[in-house]
Amino acid sequence: MTQIQVMGPSDGLTTKDMQGTRADRYLVDSLTSGGTVALVEQILDPHVLAAPLHIHSREDEYSWVIEGRLGAVLGDEEVFADAGALVCKPRGQWHTYWNAGDGPLRILEIITPGGLEALFLKLAEPGGEYDPDTLPALAAQYGCEVDFEATMPIAKRHQLIF
């Protein structure tokens, strides 16, 4: 059963990447929701790529844009979404996303079922950055695959920090 809470704007565990270009605030994790959902607020600096091109086998992921402009590759399609939009990234679809604006991008990641947020936490640990040598094996533990080779043209085309 989901544990009901009231969370203020600064409540919840917050992690940052080593460069300080991304922050994740964990609002609801899979333990709290009985495994049904995870909610993670993400804030990305301008022109930052959130992750390499990847695919999940177990979770559907939705990004609700709270502030800024999100760019995303969803399968073979490239899309852009502004505040108030919802971007759906279903399991089994290759995708990545980035801050496509000049100000901060703030999104609410809705992950169902929950569990993938544990990978985000692992990546926030010292030495957990997006290393092409270690990330594929780590991602596989969570039912994910990554494709760094296909990521680089996206980063170059949009002049993204990765």
99-111 confidence digits (pLDDT tens): 999 999 999 999 9
Domain enclosing residue 152, as ranges: 14-115+126-157
Mean pLDDT, residues 73-93 taken together: 98
111-133 confidence digits (pLDDT tens): 999 999 999 888 888 766 677 88
Q: What is the tally of structural domains in the chain?
A: 1
Looking at residue 92, its pLDDT comes to 98
Q: Distance between alpha carbon 120 and the CA centroid of its chain, in Å?
A: 8
In a domain, 5, yes or no: no
One-letter amino acid at 44 equals L
Q: What is the distance between the alpha carbons of residues 68 and 74, in angstroms, rounded to a whole number?
A: 19
- Which distant-in-sequence residues (6+ apart) come within 8 Å of 58 by Cβ? 91, 113, 115, 116, 142, 143
The helix (run of H) or strand (run of E) holding residue 61 is strand 60-67
User: What pTM was estimated for this model as a whole?
Assistant: 0.92
In a domain, 138, yes or no: yes
User: Does residue 1 register a pLDDT over 80?
Assistant: no
